[in-house]
Structures are given as structure tokens and as C-alpha cells.
């Protein structure tokens, strides 16, 4: 069942009912100021750090779900309602929500009044603009009152929901003209405040929550709204809110627009005050001035749309499959950008207070983003590398605001360092910017202890070599990619965090996944050594990669598939010998992507086993059979009920590894089948089962052993976005950035006849038309670049900033050109 439709021309998803199977959200903001907004207007805003600079309050796990946002109540002669349906839930005569790229437009209509709320964060602007357009669709004069509403968060979102003995005393506001300023803690160490303004004189206001709502009322029945009378309350302590009251008289057919701005201001210490106790409002007023008129909003929204057009034009496919086109051209790169910005911090499943930026996560997110804004990828790589330790190990997470490693979580996740090589290599392949390798980068954020980025990569590489276990496979540490495979944890005390508790100082538990990752990314490190003229280092590294490959074949293969790990006791995990958890997806993906066992025929066996044992109609489960009970030696993975999360859920992040592995074997039909099983646009018709947004990936879909098979959770912030983008754009459609050019190597379903990819690469535009006259999956018969046949399959960097026509014919190569 569907709850909306894709409007590809406008790059929007249009939702037809407020009662979607779960709140379907969107993100506003591009660099510093961000907002989350659902299809009913729920959500919140923050500046840079969702924990430390939260502007508005949001209660997770609320009843009902998604209650709290930037709301506009309509009071219409005794009747009152909200255009997004929530929170008042009065029946609407019409409703529509359009989630676009960086903006959301919600329209509701009731009893002859239509209200549209258009929300976005303008480029380079530290605030949200909410343009509210009210139309009288009746044939009578309408006299309505519009009440805006936001509830402020006292900045630190964690304290805000715990430290009430303090919080209920600190709240402070100022009201001047049509602007409500939230200045809690500004009197002491904060130099920032928030404001909520409207571009028109107001007829009243409220800033004290209790006065606005009534102590025993919810957001569905605020007493100010139900009575139609603002109380002009001035908050002192308790919970500051901002509500404007505007009286509007509209003739039949008349329309009027109001610009609300929810903004953030930071003042210099010396410029904090206008007069004692009165905040310096000049920067806020300047921001408000920028959105004085309707044209200001129009222009700014057009700039935002142009910005997205530009970003998305870097990679565009035209194929026979409209779902594929919309995933590749719109929604997948959009999600990649959001994921890159947010890491795993703020979604409707991540509370914005728990997790900072992940070392491994951010490096993987880069893969889906680097072609869009490479400068930001560069900055991110250097930030991430700065949290690395001298040993080559790394903090697992860092805080975006301070860019410092997170001590509470610490390090010891032994796959982390290698992702820095993966991320850096992807950046250099996209840009050709080898100079990044010479940047001086701190260890542990200490500016007095730095080394080149290249040296950091080297430490990453050798961190693996210096931490090998009894079989010569990499030690797993606290966990590898699978955060929940905690082989040194041995926790039997409730509340001990699985990932940071290490009850055994283990140097036995080994990871076949890390071995695969090492062999996969090793060649990049080797190539970078060569490019730096370090031939001996390259040779030495090559020897380590060769050894790892051999060791993986010797100790990491279990007869039919790759093993997952060895536990603390040296027992196999992910083996036919196990009763449960006999086969895992991750090593099958990464070992085959690394080419391990391909020529021996073992890779094919492994992928066939994945199909037999792990595949379901909704995607590939993480392992099988699921763990039916808690295993002390395995940790969190066995804590989940069967079929959920790492315990045999469909963990979408690793499905594309299998797609990519299938393309290594040339099995394009399989690769694409797996792609379309989890790509959200293909799941739109089963939105009632899938439940999360049909335009973005979710981290997890309940697996075949789960009670609620096929139901997704944790949409938006997941490595799934980046990896699926890589799988489809590079491995399947086959346009791969490489050090010296664009490699073309598609692996597609045999019945595809043709497709075209337009790719902007290092300033040139390549229009690559691929045709498939022999109906095969992989193999190139010929390539012509601007009418001339080229040798091999790498399109050179031309560098004239022009557009170049490329004709690729798939087929069995007859003769070398």
C-alpha cells in the first residue's frame, strides 16, 4: 500500500495523508544549522551539535509519537486546528506534504481556510525560515487568528531532559516588537541565543509554556488557542516557548504570507550586551531583515534548489527503470549528504545526544558524498584522522562541535583504522588531490604531535599487522564493523555497555572480516606508496596483503563460505560447526570484494551460500541461524531477539557488499536483483509492511526469523546510503573514479539494452552511453571517446572543462584496439 507518490520532476516525495505508518521526515540545512521535520510538522532544530546546541525541544518516545515541532495553529471563530494535522488532529478537508531537497511544504485546509507551511534553512544561514501562507478558499470573509509555537530547549539536550532542579529556574526570554528571544544561560557562559520572529506586527504573544497550554493540557488543546486569546506571558524559569498571535482578515480568495524565522546567533564576548542584562540583538535583526518579503523567500528557495541541482548533476543516470533513475539521481545522493552531515547523531531513531561522529561511519559516509562536495570530504578526512592515536588505533567516535575524540567510548575497534585508508583513497580517486597526503595531521587532536596524513594511513595499515592473532588473522578488539560481535566483552552484569566493556584482555579473538577489509583496501595503500615513490614500502605492504590473502584462504574459509571470526577460546564463529550463527554476510561480501578465493572458485561458493542461507524476499539477513539465547562469549549480537538488528536482521548496510561481490564474479542479474530488493523506491507499494520512508534507506529490516518480518527501523542515518550508492553507481552501472581517470566497467542484468550516465569528473562532463547488443552482463567490446577508440577502459582526465561523448559497447572483446 502507498501513502504518497514520487514527483520526480520536482524532486519531491508527496505524502497524501498525515497518518503514515510512521512519521516520515525530512532534513533542513546544509552546513551548520539543521532541522528535522516530519510530515505533520514535528521535529526540532539545532546548530551544529544536536546535543550541545539544541534550539527546540523534542521528546523522544513520546505519546503520541511525534508530538512537538514548529506548529501554526489556526483559530477560526471557535474552531481550531493545525494544517499538518498534528498536534490538534482535527479532520482536514485537504492535506499534502511535499518533502523536497532541503525543504518541506505542508498544506492543510479546513472550513474554507488553507494554510501552507514552507520550511527550509537558506544556504549559509543559521536559521529556519517558515513561510506560512494563508488562503481564504471560501466565499465569505474570514477572520482568523494564527498562533505560532515552538518550545525552546535549554541548549544542552541531555541536561534539558534530566536536570530539572536547575532547569526550571534558568529560563529567560526577551520580547521586542515581533521577535521573541530565548536567552537562557546567556547571562553566564553562553554567548549564543535563539530567536523566533515574524515579519509583521503581532497582536499578542506567549513565552511561558504553562500560560500557553495550561498546566494539564497537551499540545492538542493549548488554552490560548482554544480560547483564541494570547496571554502575553513572559517566561521566568520553567519552560520558555515562543508563540506569536496574528489576527488576519481575508476576503474570499485572498491570500497572505508571513515569514517566520527561527534563528541562532553567536556574539563575541565583548559584544554580548546592548545594555546591562539586555542582549545584543543586532545580528538577529540583520538575519530577520534578510527575510522581510515574499520575494526574499522565493529567491532563497530558488538558490537552495539550484544548489541541489548542481550537486546532483555530478552523477545522473537515464535508464528504462524510473525507480532506478530516481534512486540514483535524487534520493540516494540526498540521503548520502544528510548522513554525511549528521553521521549517526540526530534522526527519529538517534536522539542526537548519544553518538557523535563515528570514525568508521564517517569514512564510509564519504564514499557516497565525495563526488558532490569534495572540499568538505577533504576537511572531514583531516578531522577524522586527527582523532587517531599514535599507535594507529583510533577513537571510535568524536564530537562534531569540539572535533575531539570521545573518551567515554574510547578506541579498540580494530577495523576503524582501515576505514581511513578507504575514505582517503576514495577522495583522491575522485579529485586527484594527492597533496592531501602531505597535510600535517595531529594524533589524538594534539597540535604539538603531528605527522603527515600519509603517515596516518601507514599507521592504520600497520595497526592491523601489529595486532594479529594466533592464526595470523587480525585481532578483533572490542568489535569490528559488527559493533555487536563483542568477543572480549563477557558481560553478565546488566547495564554494562557491550561495546566499551572489555572484561578480558584478549589477544586471541580474530576477525575474518577485518582480513577481508585489509586485502580490499591494502592495494590502495600500496598504490599511494608507489605514487610517493616509496617502492620498498610498497613491496613490503604488498607482501603483507599477499600473506593475509593466503591466511584467509587457509584459516578463514569453512568449506562452503568464509568464516566470521575466532572467539576468545579460538573456536570458530560463522562455521558449519556452530549450532547457531553458522554463516555471516560480512566476510562473504568483503572477502569476495577483495578478490579472495575468486580464482579458486571459493568466492562463487560463498555467494551461492549467501543466496541459499541468507536471502529473503526483503533482503539478505546478517547471519543464520539466529542466536536463540544470550552467549557470554559473543556479546550484544546475541542480546537481540531473533531476526532483529545484528541478530539476523536484514542489516541493509552490508547488502551492497554482496551486490558488489556479485559484480566481481560478473553476475549482474544477481547484483541488480539484490539492489532492487532493498532500494526504498522499489518498496513504495509495501509501505504498510516496510513502514519507514519510501525515499530513504533504513538501517535494518526485520529478518525472516522476526515476528515482524519486512518491517524497517532506523531510517536515514546509516552507512546503507553510501554503500548502496557505491554499489549501484560504481559496481553495477560501472562508472568508477580512479587515480588517473574514470574507469568504466558495468555489470548489469543481461536483458538491459542500454543506459546513459552523465558524470562530472574533475571538471569535465562525460556523457557515457552504454549499449548492450549481445545481452551480456559484463565485459567491454569497445569504448569511443569523442569519436575515437581508446585503449583499455579508463577514460582519461581531459581537463578542458568540456563535455565529452563516450560510447561504450558491452560484449566479448574481439580484439584489442
Q: Which is nearer to ligand GLC, 250 or 418 (CB)?
A: 418
- Which is closer to ligand GLC, CB of 344 or CB of 568? 344
Helix (H, G, I), strand (E, B) or coil at 761: strand
Task: Give the residue from 117, 121, 147 showing the smallest Cα distance to 207.
Answer: 147
Strand partners for 244: 205
DSSP structural state of residue 635:
G
CB of 22 to ligand GLC, least distance (A): 19
Using the minimum distance from each CB to ligand GLC, give the nearer residue, 145 or 360: 360
What is the nearest approach in angstroms of ligand GLC to the Cβ of residue 514? Answer: 12
CB 389 within 8 A of CB 443: yes
**Which is nearer to ligand GLC, 467 or 482 (by Cβ)?**
482
Give whichever of 114 and 645 is closer to ligand GLC, judged by the CB atom.
645
Q: How far is the CB of 646 from ligand GLC (least distance, A)?
A: 5
Which cell goes with 554?
Answer: 587457509
CA atoms of 249 and 84, how far apart (whole Å): 22
Distance CA 200, CA 179 (A): 10
Q: Could you give the CA distance from residue 161 to residue 169 in angstroms, rounded to a whole number?
A: 14
> Which one, of 181, 373, 165, 375, lies nearest residue 282 by Cα?
181
Residues sharing a CB contact under 8 Å with residue 612, sequence separation 6 or more, in sequence order: none
Strand bridging mode 780-785 / 803-810: antiparallel
Provide the terminal-to-terminal Cα distance of the chain, rounded to the nearest Å: 52
Alpha-carbon gap, residue 808 to 656, rounded angstroms: 25
Nearer to ligand GLC, 95 or 723 (CB): 723
With beta carbons less than 8 A apart as the criterion, state whether 515 and 591 touch: yes
Shortest distance, CB of residue 462 to ligand GLC, whole angstroms? 23
> Which residue number, 291 or 481, has a Cβ lying nearer to ligand GLC?
481
Q: Taking Cα atoms as reference points, which of 618, 681, 626, 683 lies closest to residue 652?
A: 618
Can you tell me the distance from the alpha carbon of 468 to that of 747, in angstroms, rounded to the nearest whole number?
A: 35
Task: Enumerate binding residues for ligand GLC (CB under 6 A).
Answer: 344, 358, 360-361, 481-484, 499, 636, 645-646, 653, 699, 718-719
C-beta atoms surrounding 298 within 10 Å: 12
Q: How open is the CA angle 613-618-620, to the nearest 5 degrees?
A: 35
Q: In what order do the strands lie in the sheet with 788-789?
A: 315-318, 754-761, 764-771, 803-810, 780-785, 788-789
Q: How far is the CB of 699 from ligand GLC (least distance, A)?
A: 6
**Nearer to ligand GLC (CB atom), residue 49 or residue 483:** 483
Give the number of other CB atoms < 10 A from CB of residue 285: 15
- 242 Cβ neighbours under 8 A, 6+ residues apart: 148, 149, 150, 152, 173, 180, 182, 196, 205, 206, 207
Residues identified as active-site: 483
DSSP of 595-634: TTTTTTTHHHHHHHHHHHHTEETTEE-SEESPP-S--TTT
Q: Please report which helix (H) or strand (E) contains residue 196, including its range.
A: strand 192-198
Rounded Cα distance, 73 and 145, in Å: 8
How far from 561 is each of 547, 565, 622, 647, 727, CA to CA, in Å? 20, 12, 14, 19, 22
Sequence-distant (6+) residues with CB within 8 A of 762 are: 430, 431, 432, 797, 799
Instruction: Assign 420 to helix, strand or coil.
Output: helix
Task: State which residue, 213 or 565, has the beta carbon closest to ligand GLC.
Answer: 565
Cell digits for 632?
557470554
Looking at the chain, how many residues does it have? 817
At 5 the three-state DSSP class reads strand
Least distance in angstroms from the C-beta of 364 to ligand GLC: 8
Q: How far is the CB of 463 from ligand GLC (least distance, A)?
A: 18
Report the nearest approach of ligand GLC to the CB of residue 653 (Å). 6
- The least distance separating ligand GLC from the CB of residue 720, rounded to whole angstroms, comes to 8
Give the list of residues 6+ apart from residue 579 with CB closer than 8 angstroms, or none.
625
DSSP annotation string for 472-499: SSBB-BT-SSSTT--TTT---STT--TT
Give the separation between CA 125 and CA 222, rounded to whole angstroms: 31
* Residue 594 vs 744, nearer CB to ligand GLC: 594
356-371 residues labelled b (16+ CB within 10 A) or e (exposed): bbbbbbbbbbbbbbbb
Closest CA to 229 of 173, 145, 148, 150: 145
Burial of 410 (0-12, 13-18, 19+ CB in 10 A): middle
Q: What is the dihedral of CA 426, 432, 438, 442, to 10 degrees?
A: -30
Q: What is the largest CA-CA distance in the chain?
A: 85
Residue closer to ligand GLC, measured from CB, 15 or 357? 357
Q: Whose CB is nearest to ligand GLC?
A: 483
With cell 539477513, the residue in question is: 621
**Residue closer to ligand GLC (CB basis): 415 or 510:** 415
Output 182 or 463, the one with its CB closest to ligand GLC: 463
Amino acid at each position: 500500500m502507498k501513502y504518497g507518490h514520487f514527483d520526480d520532476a520536482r524532486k519531491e516525495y508527496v505524502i497524501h495523508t498525515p497518518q503514515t505508518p510512521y512519521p516520515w521526515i525530512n532534513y533542513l540545512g546544509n552546513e551548520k544549522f539543521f532541522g528535522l521535520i516530519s510530515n505533520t510538522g514535528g521535529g526540532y532544530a539545532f546548530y551544529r551539535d544536536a546535543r550541545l546546541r539544541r534550539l527546540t525541544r523534542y521528546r523522544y518516545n513520546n505519546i503520541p509519537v511525534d508530538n512537538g515541532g514548529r506548529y501554526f495553529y489556526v483559530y477560526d471563530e471557535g474552531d481550531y486546528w493545525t494544517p499538518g494535522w498534528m498536534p490538534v488532529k482535527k479532520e482536514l478537508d485537504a492535506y499534502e506534504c511535499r518533502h523536497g531537497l532541503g525543504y518541506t511544504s505542508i498544506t492543510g485546509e479546513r472550513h474554507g481556510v488553507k494554510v501552507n507551511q514552507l520550511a527550509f534553512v537558506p544556504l549559509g544561514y543559521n536559521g529556519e525560515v517558515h513561510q506560512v501562507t494563508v488562503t481564504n478558499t471560501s466565499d465569505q470573509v474570514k477572520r482568523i487568528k494564527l498562533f505560532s509555537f515552538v518550545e525552546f530547549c535549554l541548549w544542552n539536550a541531555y541536561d534539558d531532559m534530566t536536570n530539572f532542579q536547575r532547569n526550571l529556574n534558568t529560563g529567560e526570554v526577551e520580547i521586542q516588537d515581533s521577535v521573541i528571544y530565548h536567552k537562557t544561560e546567556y547571562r553566564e557562559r553562553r554567548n549564543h541565543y535563539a530567536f523566533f520572529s515574524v515579519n509583521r506586527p503581532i497582536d499578542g504573544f506567549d513565552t511561558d509554556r504553562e500560560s500557553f497550554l495550561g498546566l494539564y493540557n497537551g499540545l492538542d488543546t493549548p488554552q490560548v488557542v482554544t480560547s483564541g486569546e494570547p496571554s502575553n506571558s513572559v517566561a521566568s524559569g520553567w519552560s520558555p516557548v515562543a508563540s506569536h498571535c496574528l489576527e488576519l482578515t481575508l476576503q474570499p480568495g485572498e491570500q497572505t504570507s508571513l515569514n517566520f524565522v527561527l534563528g541562532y546567533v553567536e556574539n563575541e564576548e565583548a559584544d554580548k550586551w546592548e545594555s546591562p542584562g539586555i542582549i545584543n540583538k543586532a545580528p538577529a535583526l540583520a538575519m530577520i531583515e534578510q527575510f522581510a518579503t515574499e520575494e526574499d523567500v522565493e529567491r532563497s528557495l530558488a538558490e537552495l534548489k539550484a544548489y541541489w541541482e548542481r550537486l546532483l548533476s555530478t552523477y545522473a543516470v537515464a535508464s528504462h527503470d524510473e525507480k532506478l533513475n530516481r534512486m540514483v539521481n535524487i534520493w540516494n545522493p540526498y540521503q548520502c549528504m544528510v548522513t554525511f552531515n549528521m553521521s549517526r547523531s540526530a534522526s527519529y531513531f538517534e536522539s542526537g545526544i548519544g553518538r557523535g561522529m563515528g570514525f568508521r561511519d564517517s569514512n564510509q559516509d564519504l564514499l557516497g558524498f565525495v563526488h558532490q562536495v569534495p572540499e568538505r570530504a577533504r576537511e572531514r578526512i583531516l578531522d577524522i584522522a586527527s582523532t587517531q592515536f599514535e599507535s594507529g588505533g583510533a577513537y571510535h567516535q568524536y564530537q562534531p562541535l569540539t572535533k575531539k575524540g570521545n573518551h567515554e567510548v574510547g578506541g579498540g575497534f580494530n577495523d576503524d583504522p582501515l576505514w581511513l585508508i578507504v575514505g582517503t583513497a576514495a577522495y583522491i580517486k575522485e579529485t586527484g588531490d594527492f597533496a592531501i597526503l602531505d597535510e600535517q595531521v595531529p594524533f589524538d587532536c594534539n597540535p604539538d604531535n603531528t605527522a603527515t596524513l600519509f603517515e596516518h594511513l601507514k599507521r592504520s595499515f600497520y595497526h592491523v599487522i601489529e595486532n594479529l592473532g594466533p592464526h595470523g588473522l587480525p585481532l578483533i578488539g572490542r568489535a569490528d564493523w559488527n559493533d555487536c560481535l563483542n568477543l572480549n566483552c563477557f558481560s553478565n552484569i546488566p547495564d554494562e555497555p557491550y561495546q566499551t566493556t572489555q572484561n578480558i584482555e584478549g589477544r586471541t579473538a580474530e576477525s575474518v572480516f577485518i582480513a577481508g577489509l585489509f586485502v580490499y583496501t591494502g592495494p590502495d595503500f600500496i598504490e599511494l606508496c608507489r605514487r610517493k615513490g616509496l617502492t620498498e614500502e610498497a613491496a613490503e605492504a604488498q607482501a603483507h596483503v599477499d600473506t593475509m590473502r593466503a591466511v584467509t584462504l587457509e584459516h578463514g574459509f569453512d568449506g562452503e563460505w568464509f568464516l566470521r571470526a575466532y572467539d576468545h577460546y579460538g573456536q570458530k564463529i560463522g562455521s558449519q560447526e556452530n549450532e547457531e550463527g553458522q554463516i555471516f554476510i560480512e566476510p562473504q561480501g568483503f572477502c569476495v570484494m577483495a578478490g579472495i578465493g575468486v580464482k579458486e572458485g571459493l568466492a562463487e561458493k560463498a555467494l551461492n551460500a549467501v543466496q541459499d542461507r541468507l536471502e529473503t524476499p526483503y533482503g539478505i539477513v546478517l547471519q543464520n541461524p539466529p542466536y536463540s539465547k544470550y552467549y557470554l562469549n559473543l556479546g550484544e549480537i546475541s542480546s537481540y531477539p531473533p531476526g532483529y538488528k545484528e541478530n539476523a536482521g536484514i542489516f541493509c548496510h552490508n547488502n551492497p557488499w554482496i551486490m558488489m561481490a556479485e559484480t566481481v564474479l560478473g553476475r549482474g542479474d544477481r547484483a541488480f536483483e539484490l539492489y532492487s530488493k532493498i532500494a526504498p523506491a522499489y518498496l513504495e507499494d509495501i509501505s504498510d509492511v516496510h513502514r519507514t520512508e519510501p525515499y530513504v534507506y533504513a538501517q535494518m529490516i526485520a529478518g525472516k526469523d522476526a515476528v515482524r518480518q519486512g518491517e524497517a527501523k532506523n531510517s536515514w542515518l546509516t552507512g546503507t546510503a553510501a554503500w548502496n550508492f557505491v554499489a549501484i553507481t560504481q559496481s553495477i552501472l560501472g562508472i568508477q573514479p580512479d587515480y588517473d581517470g574514470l574507469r568504466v566497467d558495468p555489470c548489469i542484468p543481461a536483458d538491459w539494452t542500454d543506459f546513459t550516465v552523465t558524470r562530472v569528473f574533475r571538471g569535465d562532463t562525460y556523457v557515457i552511453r552504454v549499449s548492450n547488443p549481445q545481452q551480456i552482463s559484463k565485459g567491454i567490446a569497445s569504448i569511443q571517446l569523442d569519436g575515437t577508440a581508446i585503449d583499455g577502459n579508463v577514460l582519461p582526465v581531459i581537463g578542458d572543462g568540456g563535455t565529452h561523448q563516450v560510447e561504450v559497447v558491452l560484449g566479448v572483446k574481439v580484439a584489442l584496439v
